[in-house]
Chain A
Amino acid sequence: MIEAQSLTKRYGGQAAVQDVSFGCLPGTITGFLGPNGAGKSTTMKMLCGLAEPSSGRATILGAPFRELPNPGRRIGVLIDASAQHSGRRGAEVLGLSAQLMGVDRRRVDQMLELVGLDQAAARKRVGQYSLGMRQRLGIAHALLGDPQVLILDEPANGLDPEGMRWMRELLRDFAQRGGTVLLSSHLLREVEAIADRVVVIARGRIVAQGTARELLSDVPRTAVRAAGGYEAADRLRHAIQQASIAVREEPDGLLLVDADPDEIGYTALQAGIPLQELRLAQDGASLEELFFQLTADDHKESR
């Protein structure tokens, strides 16, 4: 169980994270979604006691992270898989933490096996690891203390499609056992495939949160295209607006409308405009549409 209450982090006068509140429940996977630099890592560091919030507060399992006596046994954390000593062997990275947490040495081998790092890989120094191997080692490290909560920053980064599927199953299994998972990503498809709930952050603020279904209820429901080019598109848009329905025009003349297709079909018929295309907009791409809409400012900024 994770709870962030009005977390704010200012550097100088600039707020990197502002008034971020959300909760993660046992048995669920929460995806923390946002473009690079939106404040995901800073928020996660505040959750884990690595960064001090300027205001607000965070609790995990009912207490601030720093007050847990042996946090590794309750909360598995992966903030950056590359942050390991390059001269240390993979198995030793886990062995060191197992000793610190007071975990049985055998669990090191079990976790290595679980994440698919074989004996040869375990003996290698981390400096020789690929990013995918580092992620696997990082996930093994997070699971080492047999925790109830997992906090993973961009865990799928560097994993191949097969590795992503493996991680999805692993986290699903963890949540089904009553575990709480918070994972961040800048890739929508990853979050969409894994998470039960989504928290979207942009420019340090939460811009949306809920289940994918809840989030999509605000999204245009229908895509419609008039036959006859831009002139026809303009007429159709005008007709829809007159019916007091929200509409947005894409550059290619496609209109995204906040109404059901049959309603739009009727509106077009009344206005006498032939249609080339009329369909539900809510296919697999629509969460992506929402994501770009919500984070549009950031994308402009980075261009």
Chain B
Amino acid sequence: MSTLTISQPAQSSRIGADRRPSLARLTAVELRKMVDTRSGFWVLIGIGAVTLISALIEAVHDRGREGTYINVFHVASQPSAYLLPVLGVLLICGEWTQRTTLTTFTLVPERHRVISAKVLASLLVSGGALVLTLLGAVVLAALFGHAPGGAGTLPVAVIAQGWLHLAIWMLIGLSFGAAVLVSAPAIVAYLLAPIVFAAIVNAIHSLATPAKWLDVANATAPLTLRALSATEWAQVGTTLALWLGVPLLIGLGRVRGGDIN
């Protein structure tokens, strides 16, 4: 406790007082929130570690086979593809669970802008995960992969699709988080819903064709393996409308309209 005054005399302290924080600033804040808590920090470290370990195992194991780069890249991107959606869920639900929404939404009353910042932050984090995956795959495949024709190639299209793959899944997690707003049920819903859905449509013979347009796991699986055909892109589009678009719209409605407790 000191005699320090509350209001600093300099008028300069009022600069920016009536300027809306930019989306870039909100995104930077969201990124900071991901790493400035103990749990958030270790989740990211964990994702990085598992990515490198799986790349190493695949690179050593795949020695002497074809297309080493692509195989290692495909395998190394799997941990992120499974764990980033969980991070996406927590990015939204963490605020509700820890009740930091009270602070967040008094500082940014236009709640959809917070969600936009979280979407942008997810794109950047999945980009970071891609860079790590790529580095791990290239370095480890070059060190350990001695296929007869070299380590093969890794087309730029597949790298770009790899980023899209991670971004899509992280955003699906985020959308489920927004729709459910409670961590555990949101994670369960995100994990189970596509699986149960796929199991049902695949079991029913007459749904085999529509299933290709609705099963998101199936539609996005080839993204890290090969450049997609036009039909495959269309299938990615329709499955995303269902698995990303619908929960995101529900979530936006809940976040924008609901009372914060």
Contact = CB atoms under 8 A, between A and B. Distances in A.
Contact of B13 (A45, A82, A84, A146): A146
B100 A170 contact: no
Contact of A66 (B28, B29, B32, B110): B110
B115 to A, nearest CB: 15
A230 interface: no
Contact of B107 (A45, A80, A101): A101
A70 B4 contact: no
Contacts of A113: 2, 4
Contacts of B7: 146, 177
Interface stretch (A92-100, A249-257, A279-287, A288-296): A92-100
A116 interface: yes
Interface stretch (B34-42, B55-63, B124-132): B34-42
Contacts of B99: 80, 82-84
Interface in B1-52: 1-2, 4-8, 13-14, 16-21, 25-26, 28-29, 32-33, 36-40
Interface stretch (A71-79, A187-195, A196-204): A71-79
Contacts of A89: 36
Contact of A166 (B1, B18, B108): B1
B94 interface: yes
A102 B108 CA distance: 13
A49 B109 contact: yes
A99 B117 CA distance: 14
B197 interface: no
Given A70-B17, A70-B18, A88-B36, A96 B29 contact: yes
A100 B6 contact: no
Contact of B25 (A49, A69, A99, A114): A99
B4 A69 contact: no
Contacts of B259: 45, 50-52
A87 B39 contact: yes
B109 A114 contact: no
A49 B256 CA distance: 11
Contact of A96 (B16, B33, B105): B33
Contacts of A248: none
A146 B7 CA distance: 6
Given A100-B25, A101-B21, A141 B6 contact: no
B187 to A, nearest CB: 18
A174 B105 CA distance: 24
B254 to A, nearest CB: 13
Contacts of B29: 96, 99-100
B257 interface: yes
Given A66-B109, A73-B17, A99-B25, A51 B260 contact: yes
Contacts of A145: 17
Nearest to A51: B259
Given A102-B19, A146-B8, A83 B100 contact: yes
Contacts of A125: 38
A74 B17 contact: yes
Contact of B260 (A45, A66, A70, A100): A45
Contact of A141 (B8, B26, B39, B103): B103
A266 B5 CA distance: 56
Nearest to A97: B107
A101 B40 CA distance: 23
Nearest to A66: B109
B206 interface: no
Contacts of A96: 29, 32-33, 36
A268 B25 CA distance: 75
Interface in A27-58: 45, 48-52
Contacts of B6: 114, 143, 146, 170, 173-174, 177
B211 to A, nearest CB: 41
Contact of A50 (B20, B33, B40, B106): B106
A157 to B, nearest CB: 15
Contacts of A87: 37-40
Contact of A83 (B14, B26, B102): B102
Given A70-B16, A87-B39, A88-B36, 5 more contacts: A72-B107, A99-B28, A101-B21, A110-B4, A115-B1
Interface of A: 45, 48-52, 65-66, 68-75, 77, 79-80, 82-89, 92, 96-97, 99-104, 107, 110, 113-116, 125, 141, 143, 145-146, 166, 170, 173-174, 177
13 contacts: A48-B106, A82-B99, A83-B99, A83-B102, A89-B36, A96-B32, A101-B107, A113-B4, A116-B2, A125-B38, A146-B8, A146-B17, A170-B6
Task: Sort A-B residue pairs by CB-CB distance and give the 6 closest, nearest first.
Answer: A83-B99, A73-B17, A87-B37, A66-B109, A51-B259, A116-B1
